[in-house]
Structure 1
Amino acid sequence: MLDAPPHVITVGAGLLDEALRAQAVRTTPVDWRPPLPGTAEALATVLADPRRQAANERAVGRLLSARPHLTGVRRASEVLPAGTFLHAGPPITWERASGPMRGALVGAMLLEGLAGDEHEAADRLAAGAVELRPCHEHAAVGPMAGVVSPSMWLFEVDDAEHGGTAYCSLNEGLGRVLRYGAYGPQVLERLRWMDEVLGPALAGALRRTGPIDLRALMAQALQMGDELHNRNRAATSLLLRVLAPALVETAAEHAAAVLRFIDGNDHFFLNAGMAAAKVSADAARDEPGSSLVVAMARNGTDFGVQVSGLGGRWFTGPAGVPDGLYLGSYGPGDANPDIGDSTITETAGLGGFAMAAAPAIVRFVGGEVADAVRATRSMYEITLAEHPAYQIPALGFRGTPVGIDVTLVARTGLLPVVNTGIAGRVAGTGQVGAGLVEPPVEAFTSVLLTLAESVSDQF
């Protein structure tokens, strides 16, 4: 050993590697991280499950082969149980609801004429006047607060491969909007216009166009600089090109106003994309033994995870406050903890997992272009596949990382990358910024422990 210069292998010790290199010592760094604390025994049990590999292959195969098509726009009253409001994230009660969630629920009460003012609305919600249910439990997703009430209109997306259906509300735009917890007169006026004009106009246009292939549209948008969570400029433009002639033909009286509204809202496509991601992820559900994540969602208080092999059970931890860029004079003290179902995009291999395709996203969520590329590359370590349709030009048209595996999260200690809007913590504030947020470790640890229990019970 002393006859030649030393050559040191450093394992998971970045500082040591840097110190040795500074002294001109040859090193071979090995990127290693310890597993999540307290998961070693459960991880070994789950990895030994003879069903796991085949179950994951079947589940992720269905996710990848899903073919979401936008088929219509429908009133929520057609698909909602009577007396029910939907909301984002895992189940939540009025008592535990955050400021923006309460604000959105109050606004929905006012919109539906179920209360005369915000105080009566809050009192009636506290008394259980309407049932609060997660969007995910009704084949739906909702951005931010995600509140859906009967008079709202929903995108309807069907999976042409596996036959599923998913729904998402129509996007109001940015700033002071219901999904960020605002409920003032302008918010309600816009929602009423969406009810009376936008929804019917879009429904008529889609009857004329027929189903729109969202998978193909989203694949094209990725190659035009979107990541399809916080950047949807290309996707919105592509959708507008398809809808515009049909809108003019079927809703001439309102076509200009509808087109102007969509043109002024770069995030209009987000909600259709969320429904596409939802129907794709739902195709992978209910595969016994699978450790594939099929939903991540936040209600402003809790961050919840669901996995294919454990049905509709939620595993939760406290939602974190995003780290990012703030609007105007707002700062971290004004931010509510993470909220919304839009993490379904990351679940399906988009959003934070596809940031390398959208270098301009860093101007919205913070960081540098290299950070966006690094974030995407890191997600290949915790996913089971690369999407055959959703490809990233900057990575040589490599497919986006898709199919989060709880065992890989536990083994690497890496958590999913999520980019998100930031809602003001006080009801009625609206959006205060955008950034990145880490899911809570507790949610993934709980999933793994429960998977291990299910393996022990099975065998």
Structure 2
Amino acid sequence: MTPALLGREPVVITVGAEPLGEALDAQAVPRVPVAWRPPMAGTAAALDTVLADPRRERANALAVDRMTSARPQLVGVRPAREVLGLTPGAFLHAGPPITWERASGPMRGALVGAMLLEGLARDPQDAERRLAAGEASLEPCHHHRTVGPMAGVVSPSMWMFEVRDAEHGGVAYCSLNEGLGKVLRYGAYGPEVLERLRWMGAVLGPVLAAALARSGPVDLRALTSQALQMGDELHNRNRAATSLLVREIAPAVVEASPEHAAEVLRFINGNDHFFLNPGMAACKVSADAARGVPGSSMVVAMARNGTDFGIQVSGLGDRWFTGPAGVPDGLYLGAYGPDDANPDIGDSTITETAGLGGFAMAAAPAIVRFVGGDVSDATAATRSMYEITLAEHPAYQIPGLGFRGTPVGIDVALVARTGLLPVVNTGIAGRVAGTGQVGAGLVSPPASAFTEALAALADAVDRGSQDR
């Protein structure tokens, strides 16, 4: 064997040592690079326990199958007080649980705006005083089968998209999208914000409800699949999806409400992100179908409240695992810069949870003009996510990758073993209440959320072993 080996040109395998690899490349030495990374620090024992759990493989296969087989359909638009049972002074918000005392600027601004919208305060100062005194109740949207972009504040008078899963029977809700700039979800609460919200409650919501009652359900799974073929990634780029949705409902809007059809269609047409909200509800109902599988290490929710970033795991119930929300790195509007940015905020990371958004950026090369980087970065981001996910989505495919399915089913064990964190693209809210949007970019979740979830999974395995 030795003479044969010496008679061939040697090939060097490099593992993680890029300076050595670059030196070999400079000398034209053939090499095979292996992209290996050590596991996250302090996770070795928990990883051994979780990976050895005999339930894990089957549980994860079941969880990801439930998520990818969901068939979300937009079936209606209804008031929050009706579908969520919200009463005056009860508000939902994005992300894990938070109090007024810990709330960031945009979260506080959105809550102030909601107080004014509901007639619970005379002015912003009165609203702040009442919120600080505990005169409003705050609960996460996720605790009520709901998701909300950015601050995600939902109040009783707001109208909600209602999305049902025709496969598993679940339901999820999301508010209507206001557009960009100074809007409530970014923490703005000026007169123009409240006027728009009142119009949405008086006109937009009822018209859409009447149109969907006439047209019947809209297949959001099929629409999302088509939008991916047209250059959307369904988080920060929804232009194709919004256009497709308008095509679906426009005739029914005209038939159901001819006196308001022009203003409603004009509003939707001027808002390329209009589809984001029903799309988020579609992702929520899909992820919820995968909840509650014992032994599963798959993530079923990622969410931020502007202070904390939290995840939930299929096999660990409704428990949140959190860490500090990071400030996105991206492009800023006008004279705004990093000093104006609030830490990451919003439930819209439910799109990444379901295999879209940052996980599908290879399908949307134009997204780099919004969040920064170049086309190769977008492709590399998607490719890297296959390393921490359990499957490829059978319906959500990327033309630029040979129609490969988007990476879906984040596994906390794979995150810990590879050291790779989920890629999230997001809007950036101004840190001062009332500012609105200041930019868009990319952000990484805190590693601690995943390592804590892994430790909890290991504890659950150990307890189960003791019980047996």
Pair 1:173-2:160 in alignment: no
Q: What corresponds to 2:371 in structure 1?
A: 365
| CA drift at 1:128 | 1.2
1:316 counterpart = 2:326: no
- The CA deviation at 1:58 is 0.6
Q: Determine which of 317, 342, 348 is the counterpart of 1:342.
A: 348
- Equivalent residue for 2:390, pick from 384, 387, 390: 384
Q: Which amino acid aligns with 1:66?
A: A
Q: Which residue of structure 2 aligns with residue 139 of structure 1?
A: 145
Query: Which residue of the other structure, out of 80, 97, 105, is the alignment partner of 2:85?
Result: 80
1:2 Cα deviation after fit: 7.0
- Structure 1 residues 256-308: Cα deviation after superposition (integer angstroms, max 9, x where no partner): 00000000000000000000000000000000100000000000000000000
Q: In structure 1, how many angstroms separate the alpha carbons of the residues matched to 2:185 and 2:388?
A: 31
Pairwise mapping of residues 42-191 of structure 1 onto structure 2 (< 5 A)? 42-78=46-82, 79-82=84-87, 83-191=89-197
- Residues 5/395 of structure 1: CA separation in 2 closer, same or farther (3 Å cut): closer
Q: TM-score, structure 2 length as denominator?
A: 0.97
Alpha-carbon distance in 1 for matches of 2:27, 2:396 = 44
Unaligned runs of 5+ in 2: none
Equivalent of 2:294 in 278, 288, 293:
288
Q: Is the 8 A contact 2:80 2:86 kept in 1?
A: no
Q: Which of these residues, 213, 218, 232, is aligned with residue 212 of structure 1?
A: 218
Instruction: Tell me which amino acid in the other structure corresponds to 2:67.
Output: L
Alpha carbons 2:63, 2:314 under 8 Å: kept: yes
Equivalent in 13, 19, 43 of residue 9 of structure 1: 13
Shift of 1:23: 2.0
Which residue of structure 1 lines up, in the alignment, with residue 261 of structure 2?
255
SS at match of 1:372: helix
Identify the residue that residue 441 of structure 1 maps to in structure 2.
447
Pairs aligned (count): 459
The 10-residue stretch of structure 1 (83-92 or 165-174) with the greater mean CA deviation from structure 2: 83-92
Report the AA paired with residue 346 of structure 2. Answer: G
CA RMSD between the two structures: 0.9
Offset at residue 197 of structure 1 (A):
0.3
Q: Does 1:33 align with 2:52?
A: no
Q: TM-score, length-normalised on structure 1?
A: 0.99
1:95-144 CA distance string (max 9 Å, x none):
00000000000000000000000011011111111110000000000000
Task: Report the secondary structure of 1:128's partner residue.
Answer: coil
Q: Distance in 1 between matches of 2:120 and 2:329?
A: 37
Is 1:23 the counterpart of 2:27? The answer is yes
Amino acid corresponding to residue 301 of structure 1 in structure 2: T
| 2:250 paired with 1:228 | no
String of CA shifts for 1:43-84, please: whole Å, max 9, x gaps.
Answer: 000001111111001110000100000000010001134242
Instruction: Provide the residue aligned with 2:208 in structure 1.
Output: 202
Distance, in Å, in 2 between the alignment partners of 1:341 and 1:15 is 40
Classify the secondary structure of the residue corresponding to 2:101.
coil
Q: Distance in 2 between matches of 1:27 and 1:244?
A: 58
Runs of 5+ unmatched residues, structure 1: none
